[in-house]
Amino acid sequence: MATRHLVRTIVLQSLYEWDFYKHEADLIKIVERNLLEFGPGVDEPDFVWRLVKGVVEHLAEIDKTISRVAPEWPLDQIAIIDRNVLRLGLYELLYADKAEVPPRVAINEAIEVAKNYGGLNSPKFINGVLGTVYREIEGDNSAEKQPGKTKHKKE
């Protein structure tokens, strides 16, 4: 298992536990424990903390994005594992350094994590939500890059 893939699973396990306890548990202690138990010798511990910090700092915006893109699935009705795979994937897709983690890598990693830890339909659900957001981003970027093109929002 590649180091970054392992890091993502550790972050996911930590976010899952934190979410299970309604964000009342000490996330730093959870991450430290999981890193020690599941990732001794991880050569990029700073990547763990960037992901955790990024998800937490952008949690409200990420959750709004999930609710907007998957309106038929209220956030509290999405399985805890899927909700946190989406949070991690959306953080990487929307806020992380694109040079470090290209968007397609962020999507692929989220799908792979969902295959390993989610239910039968998790990979398809994760792919659908992240794919929709990716297309929105690409649509915005392609309109900005083409002279004379304007972005229009659907009413």
57-108 residue pLDDT tens: 999 999 999 999 999 999 999 999 999 999 999 999 999 999 999 999 999 9
Q: What is the C-alpha separation between 99 and 103, in angstroms, rounded?
A: 9
- Domain contains 96: yes
Query: What does the pLDDT look like over 103-155, one tens digit per residue?
Result: 999 999 999 999 999 999 999 999 999 999 999 999 876 544 444 443 433 33
Tokens matching residue 138: 């690409």
User: How many structural domains is the chain composed of?
Assistant: 1
52, 14 Cβ separation under 8 angstroms = yes
- 50: domain CATH number is 1.10.940.10
- Domain contains 152: no
Q: What is the C-alpha separation between 76 and 147, in angstroms, rounded?
A: 42
111, 127 Cβ separation under 8 angstroms = yes
Maximal C-alpha separation, the chain: 55
The number of CA neighbours under 13 Å toward the Cβ of 57 is 11
pTM of the predicted model as reported, rounded to 2 decimal places: 0.88
- Residue linked to tokens 């999507």: 107
